Every structure is written in structure tokens, then in C-alpha cells.
Amino acid sequence: MDYDNFFAGRVDALKAEGRYRVFADLERKAGDFPSAKSHQGTGVKDITVWCSNDYLGMGQNPLVTAAMHRALDESGAGAGGTRNISGTNHYHVLLEQELASLHKKEAGLIFTSGYVANHTTLGTLGSMLPDGVIVSDSNNHNSMIAGIRHSQAEKKIFKHNDMADLEAKLNDISPGRPIVIAFESVYSMDGDIAPIKDILDLADKYNALTFIDEVHAVGLYGAEGAGVAERDGLMDRIDIIQGTLAKGFGVVGGYIAGSASLCDFIRSYGDGFIFSSSMPPPVAAGALESVRYVREHSELRDHHQERAATLKRRLTEGGIPVMPSVTHIVPVLVGDPVLCKQASDDLLYNHGIYVQPINYPTVPRGTERLRFTPTPQHDDLLMDQLVDAMKSVWHQLGLKEAA
């Protein structure tokens, strides 16, 4: 086989479909978020980032960066091993305690990423629970799907947020078998929210364990930023809460929070936890500072919600087809992969606005979109620039306006 020819051919197939990914080469500017430098060929241009998952700008918070500098100077760059082999630093322990306290659970367990947290936790539960079944929402993130597949447990997929279908799937399972229901709170491509209470009621009825991915909600919802389950007063009814330290908290890493026995079990059996070096101490220190800060600053959350509502209203008033979203995520429908990429390119190269195109397989074909994530740092002036640029691009490309 001509391997390189094969690789290039598969990539060409993506290009033909208009869904070849080109990364924007950005240089973030601490102190000036959401501005960044964009490296384009030989030139460099100042742009505004409109699609960051650093939802609160915590990646440049001076207390967070100071904590990271301090830990770097005190403890050095790397952790020095896996958690079991000299890689447990005191910051890891403090961070796990903080996350347990945030979610009002007995224990927390950190991983190198949210992806690994999902993959390892669901993978371990699925492979260890005797004759277990994992029941999974059809829109769940790739990290959950991959973990479930890796576990080789039986899996049942229920229609997205469809409680009748979830109950039908639960009803199909012979009584007595262990069940895990895996779902997200905020689904990040549409900006919709799971009917968490209804899922928990069904879990009670069928004696199932519940696993919620709050990656797009931690830091952002609830009195202390513990997520939608906190906002809705449901945290204590959920067995496993999973989150990331990379989005609302602005650093990197992932975690679960749950009972002491559950966390000890995953700590002791989870491959992705055991066999990978732990996060660097400066990262753990930065994440710890960020979680503490975000818990205490609910005005950040209020401002974040206000910015999202304002952007939705302003784009809609400008005739731009904002898709329905009950969260901070502002998706705009384009409905064609080539035009979606074109709109994104025009915004970047002609208007200094960066929002990446979202195409299949991340979203269904025909629903290709631009996904805006306004932060508290996107002020009215930046919004004026964005709305004007969007109107101009919509007109130029002849894109569909809001109905």
C-alpha cells in the first residue's frame, strides 16, 4: 500500500465536502482578551475572538496567572510522575477538595482533561459493573461515546432529551442489571439543556446510577458556578458530576465529583487516571485559584448571561438567523458547509472577527452554523462591530435571513 497516497486521499475527501479543518494560528494577549493576534501567511493581524470556550476570560485572570507563576517558581514545570509514582503534588489534593466542596460531594478526582475524565470514568464503570448497561443521550460528546465503546458494556442510545424514549430504553433492560444513565447538562452546539429532574426521576424508578457532563456549565450556572444541577437544586440527586477546568475555569484539566467510594473506585481501577502523568503543579494551582475565584464572583455569571442575551437580540434584530438557545451559546444557522466556511473566512480576513465554522460531523448536515460565545469581556463596541460585519457578510454571500 502507498500509505501517504491513502492519507492524502482521505483528506481530499474532506476538502471536497467543504469540511476540511484549518486552524486559525492565534496568539492570545493576556490583559487584552478577547483580542488576539492572528498569524496569516507572513502577516500578523489583530482580531477579536468570538468563539472561545474560555467563557469568562479566566485564562487571563491576574490572580490565576499569579498563582501559576508562584507554583511554577516553587514546584517547577512538571508533576514528576503518575499520581501513584511521585506525581501527587499538594495542589492536586487541594484542587480535588475544592471540587468536591463546589459540588457538595464527598470526593473529587482530577484527570489531565475533561476528555480523559469522561472516557476513563464511563469506560471503567462499563467494564466493571457486572452485566451493566449504559444508557446514553444521542447527542453526547465524543469522549463519553468513546469511553462507553471502550468499556464494551451493552449500550442503549436514547433520542436527545426525549424522556419517553429514555423510559422505553430503561424498560427494555431486565430488572436487577446495573444501569448508568449518561447525559450532559448544556449541549454546546445547540445551547439546549437536558430535563435533568425528569432524568433523575426515571433513574430513581429504575435504580440507575446517573452521570452528568457539566463541561459547558461549570463556572457559569448556579449560585457558586457548580453548574445547571446546582442552579436547579438537583446536585445532591446526581451520582457523578463531571466537569472541565479548561472552559469556564480557563485553564486545563478535567474531573469528576461523587461519593468517596465512587472516586476511590475510579482512582483504583481507571486506566486513564492510573497510567498517565498528573497535571503540572502550576496548572493545578491555577485551576484551584480559578475555581475559588469563580465561586465567589456570581456577578461574572450575571454579566455573561446578559452579554449572551444581548447578542442574540441584536443579531436577530439585524435579520441574522440565531438558532433557539436557552444558554450562553449563540448559534447562527448557515445550512451549507462551503458557505459556512466562506462566511467564517470573510469575517476573519475582511473584518478581523474570528468565529470558526461548525460543520458535519460535529452537527448534522444542513445545520452547518457559526457558534458565538460572548464573554463578559465582549463589550458593546465589539458587538457593534460584529453585528455590522455579520450583516455585510450575510448580504454578500446571499445567506438566508431570519424568518
Nearer to ligand PLP, 141 or 292 (CB): 141
Minimal distance in Å, beta carbon 118 to ligand PLP? 6
Nearer to ligand PLP, 114 or 191 (CB): 114
In angstroms, rounded to a whole number, what is the distance separating the alpha carbons of residues 268 and 120?
11
Q: Annotated catalytic residue: which of 247, 312, 341, 391? A: 247
To the nearest 10°, report the CA torsion of 236, 237, 242, 245. -30
What pairing do the DSSP bridges indicate for beta strands 209-213 and 133-137? unpaired
Nearer to ligand PLP, 137 or 336 (CB): 137
Minimal distance in Å, beta carbon 353 to ligand PLP? 23
Nearer to ligand PLP, 53 or 385 (CB): 53
Minimal distance in Å, beta carbon 114 to ligand PLP? 2
In angstroms, rounded to a whole number, what is the distance separating the alpha carbons of residues 186 and 227?
9
In angstroms, rounded to a whole number, what is the distance separating the alpha carbons of residues 42 and 358?
26
Nearer to ligand PLP, 188 or 325 (CB): 188
Minimal distance in Å, beta carbon 120 to ligand PLP? 12
Minimal distance in Å, beta carbon 323 to ligand PLP? 17
The answer to whether residue 169 is catalytic is no
Considering only CA atoms, which of 382, 343, 231, 358 is closest in space to residue 298?
231
Q: Which amino acid is at 324?
A: P
Minimal distance in Å, beta carbon 64 to ligand PLP? 16
Residues that bind ligand PLP in the complex, under the rule CB under 6 A: 113-115, 118, 141, 143, 184, 188, 213, 215-216, 244, 246, 254
Nearer to ligand PLP, 185 or 342 (CB): 185
Considering only CA atoms, which of 391, 123, 392, 67 is closest in space to residue 249?
67
Minimal distance in Å, beta carbon 207 to ligand PLP? 26
**Cα dihedral sign for 113, 341, 52, 403?**
negative
Nearer to ligand PLP, 178 or 250 (CB): 250
Nearest residue to ligand PLP, scored by beta-carbon proximity: 114
Catalytic residue positions? 247
